[in-house]
Amino acid sequence: MKVLVTAKRVVDYNVNVRVLSDHSGVDLNNVKMSVNPFDEIAIEEAVRLKEAGSAEEVIVVSIGPTACQEQIRTALALGADRGILVETNEDMQPLAIAKVLKALVDKESPELIILGKQAIDGDNSQTGQMLAALAGYAQATFANNVEIGDGSATVTREIDGGLETITVKLPAIITTDLRLNEPRYASLPNIMKAKKKPVDKYTPEELGVEVAPRVKTLKVVPPAAREPGIIVDSVEELVDKLRNQAKVIP
């Protein structure tokens, strides 16, 4: 079985994001970039399937500027076999990403596609579902557990009411939730080996995909600053402030 996973380049989750002075977007100058954390979970799951003998090859895909090769090499160091970079400087939105992935699915014919449920930059949680619609594949989103059977995958999903277990026929698309697994760290020998693993490069034009943005960002502003809290010396003072200032106690 061939498994295709994604590795989106995003601002590292430990970075304090700054907005540009003209409010046109986020300041990315000299900012640490990393693999989207939910995609790290997808990569880990694909590698575990390979280690268990359920998959033969893991292909990692990143879509964006040339610098995305860094995230591809990270995924290769974690155990993926080869990478694909679809190089573009366009602002890639969920539908455009789904169309590019659909073109790669047609080219590579993977039996399983695993994506993070969302990216921490846009938080859209749309690409996996859009790809499933475009490809006509079954989908199992927000995966908490994945078991591969004979031509099928049994997935436990995280839903608002608890957990739901479904079985989908392969080929299928799975999106990962936080509790699916804990991604490993790349060892130094694997980092060195990753430098020699192949990475194919395409452009959206070569894949026959139109990726022009359909949504325009008008303005980006930081959240309003929170007022500082206060320290009270007694329960009585707390109750007094809740009653007279916050007016939450009648």
- Each residue's pLDDT tens digit in the chain (250 positions)? 999 999 999 999 999 989 998 998 889 888 999 999 999 999 999 999 999 999 999 999 999 999 999 999 999 999 999 999 999 999 899 999 999 999 999 999 999 999 999 999 989 999 999 999 999 999 999 999 999 999 999 999 999 989 999 999 999 999 999 999 999 999 999 999 999 999 999 999 999 999 998 888 899 998 888 888 889 999 999 998 888 887 777 7
pTM: 0.88
- Range 11-16, long-range pairs (CB < 8 A, 24+ positions): 11/120, 11/121, 13/37, 13/120
Does 78 reside within a domain?
yes
Residue 133's CATH number: 3.40.50.620
Does 168 reside within a domain?
yes
Count the Cβ atoms, other than its own, within 10 Å of residue 136: 8
Q: Is residue 6 within 8 Å of residue 115, measured between CB atoms?
A: yes
User: What's the token pair of residue 239?
Assistant: 């109750």
Instruction: Count up the domains in the chain and report the number.
Output: 1
Q: Which domain holds residue 135?
A: 2-244
Q: For the chain, percent helix, then strand, then coil, each to nearest 5?
A: 30, 25, 40
Does 249 reside within a domain?
no
Of 240, 221, 7, nearest to 114 by C-alpha is 7
φ, ψ of residue 162 to 5 degrees: the values are: 140, -120
Residue 222: cis peptide before it, omega within 30 degrees of 0: no
Does 43 reside within a domain?
yes
